[in-house]
Structure 1
Amino acid sequence: MEQFGVLTLGSRLKRLSDHLFIQVQEIYSQCDIPISATYFPILRLLQKTGSLSVMEIADRLHLSHPAVSKQTTKMIKEALLEKTVDEQDQRRSSLHLSEFGLNAMQRVEPVLQEMKVVLEKMTAFSSDNFMNGLSYLESQVLGGSLADKVLDRLEPIQIVSLESQHDKAFYDLNMAWLERYFPDQIAEKDRIVLSNPQEEVIEKGGVVWVAIRKRKSVDSVVGTIAFAPLNDSALDNKRGEVFKLSVAEHAQGKGIAQRLLSTAIDFATQGGFSVLSLETASCLKLARRLYDKNGFVEKSFPNPSLYARADVYMEKSLILKTPRDPS
């Protein structure tokens, strides 16, 4: 439809609307929220105002009276709303949330908060041309599952070792990060490691972890990190490095990066490593704060970096775990 420009504006907006309603309904279904996505404006309005007539609801939401009447009739049948007849004028009545409706709105609140975060990320762009902006919004909304992104923020996240089913996500997440921040500084080494984590990391004594939300089919991967022992480590001074720390943009702000980094630090500590190092870029302010908070200290590069984008080298001294004296 894009090729026809503004002549298909209505159709494109309806396509977006229909898609969003379907996605929101899927989220409600997964979270056992007993409401329809189409009910939300009326439910939210009544939650804030207490009670209103059908005409007042229609006026406040700029909807037609018949449309609101049809919706509220369904909502009364589903026990979400209750009708109160005016004792002074039997022709007048008002609607308010039932106890069941109030409970449903309380249950949906955390879902709405996470949905708001994801949608704000999708719409956080500027454009001087409305149609160009619409095309970008379509790519954001239609190009991925809103439901999956919101559920990634709502449901428990586990940190597990990489399995073959996670390989594509390991590549996609890290490549998306590189293309966003360093599109002109993607090294051949990046592509080799991301395409072959088993051969390039695990078979060389390293470990790759992924942050996942378990699903019935393929796990939803929202974060990654890798650890590798350094080849020049002396037996009494084992050194390791962490790399490929990434978190999907829609899942950021949930502490996933910290959990991934803590997993790597704990693994290195328990494995008898004395120093853990990493390379980063000075422009990555949030990453730098994370590393500072976890005790990494900036030092001079011991060797030239393989990556042109890396201008910061950091190390963390680890407290070695020693066996307890059985006596």
Structure 2
Amino acid sequence: MEQFGVLTLGSRLKRLSDHLFMQVQEIYSQCEIPISATFFPILRLLQKTGSLSVMEIADSLNLSHPAVSKQTTKMIKEGLLEKTVDEQDQRRSSLRLSNSGLSAMQRVEPVLQEMKIILERMLDFSSENFMEGLTCLESQILSGSSLADKVLDRLESIEIVPMESQHEQAFYDLNMAWLERYFPEQITEKDRVQLSNPQERIISEGGMVWVAIRKTKSVDSVVGTIAFAPTEGFGADNKRAEVFKLSVAEHAQGKGIAQRLLSAAIDFSAQQGFSVLSLETSSILKSARCLYDKNGFIEKAFPNPSLYERADVYMEKTLTLTKSRDMS
């Protein structure tokens, strides 16, 4: 429809609206929240005001009286609203949230907070032209991972597990997206080969890859990765290893996933008898640097030239050996 410009504006906005309502309803269903996505404006308004008449609701939300009357009738039948008749004037009545409605709005609050974060990130673009901005918004909302999946990734429990074959495509996609975002001009053939063949290029050579996943009924949703590999040229009494390919999906950031992935690699290294864990990073990655500093990595001179132009910081952490335990 984009090719027809402003002539399809209404159709494009309706497509976005229908898609968003469908996605929000899926989130509510997954979280077992007993409300319809279309009920939210009225429920939120009554949550804030206490009680209002149908006319007052319509005026506050800039909706038609018949539309509000139809919605509130459904909500009363579903037990979300209660109607109170004015004792002084039997012709007047007001609506308020029932106990079930109050409970549903309390339960939905964490969902709304995570949904707000995701939507604000989707809208974080600049455009002086409305139609160009609309196209950008459509690309954010209608393509790629669904809004529902992104919100559920932030809401539900995340596990750190060793990578399996089913996770390999996500390992490639997450890390390539990170490279394309921060270093689009510095992606090397080594990057592509390593990301395309983690079993051969990392695990078969004595390394490990962990992924952060949300379990689903079908395919695991992978929201983060980290890799570990022994480094060569050191004696048995001074075993060294490196961590790399630490990435977290943009929509899942801010939930402590990077810390959990790094902790898994640090714990594994110590349990396996490694004494030093190293990494390379870039000085432009401020959040990553804070994470490494927090976990006891110390910046040092590069022992050897880096294979990556983008890496201008080398760090090491001295490990305290611990007894081996199951990492899965």
Superposition TM-score tier, normalisation by shorter sequence? over 0.9
1:1-327 pair list within 5 angstroms: 1-143=1-143, 144-321=145-322
Instruction: Please report how far the alpha carbon of residue 150 of structure 1 lies from its aligned counterpart in structure 2 after TM superposition.
Output: 0.3
Q: State the AA in 2 paired with 1:218.
A: V
The separation in 2 between residues aligned to 1:74 and 1:232, in whole angstroms, is 72
**Distance (Å, rounded) in 2 between the aligned partners of 1:321 and 1:179:** 38
Distance 2:48 2:264 in 1: 44
Quote how far apart the aligned CAs of 1:233 are.
2.3
- C-alpha displacement at 1:260, in angstroms? 0.1
CA apart distance, 1:45: 0.1
SS at match of 1:16: helix
1:73-129 deviation digits (Å, cap 9, x = unpaired) = 000000000000001111100000000000000000001111111111111111111
Aligned with 2:274: secondary structure? coil
**Partner SS state of residue 20, structure 2:** helix
State the 1:232 CA deviation: 1.5
For 1:218 and 1:243, locate their aligned partners in 2 and report how far apart those are by CA, in whole Å: 25
Provide the secondary structure at the position in 1 that maps to 2:113. helix
SS of residue paired to 1:236:
helix
Deviations 1:116-172 (A, max 9, x none): 111111111111111111111101100131000000000000000000000000000
SS of the aligned residue for 2:236 comes to coil
Task: Report the AA paired with residue 211 of structure 1.
Answer: A
- For 1:107, the aligned partner's letter is R
Superposition deviation, residue 231 in structure 1:
1.6
Determine the C-alpha separation between the residues in 2 that align with 1:102 and 1:198: 51
What TM-score do the two structures reach when normalised by structure 1?
0.98
Superposed CA RMSD in Å reads 0.8
Residue type at the aligned position of 1:76: I
Q: Is there any run of 5+ residues in structure 2 with no aligned partner, and where?
A: none
Alpha-carbon distance between aligned partners in 1 of 2:233 and 2:183, rounded to the nearest angstrom = 29
Q: CA deviation at 1:321?
A: 2.8
State the shift of 1:322 in Å.
6.5
Provide the C-alpha distance between the structure 2 equivalents of 1:135 and 1:315, rounded to a whole number of angstroms.
45
Cα offset, 1:17, TM superposition: 0.5
Percent of matched pairs sharing the same residue? 81
Q: Once the 2 structures are TM-superposed, how far is the Cα of residue 50 of structure 1 from its aligned partner?
A: 0.1
Amino acid at match of 1:300: A
SS in 2 for 1:91: coil
Q: Distance in 1 between matches of 2:218 and 2:205?
A: 30
SS in 2 for 1:41: helix
Distance in 1 between the 2:305 and 2:56 partners? Answer: 69
State the Cα distance separating 1:241 from its structure 2 match: 0.1
2-structure distance, mates of 1:9, 1:221: 35
SS in 1 for 2:83: strand
Q: Which runs of 5+ in 1 are unaligned?
A: none
Matched residues in 2 for 1:310 and 1:89: separation? 75
CA distance in 2, matches of 1:195, 1:43: 48
Q: Deviations over 1:190-246 (max 9, x none)?
A: 101100000000000000000000011110000000000002121110000000000
**Any idea what SS the aligned residue of 2:237 has?**
coil
1:47 to partner: Cα distance = 0.1
CA distance in 2, matches of 1:182, 1:293: 24
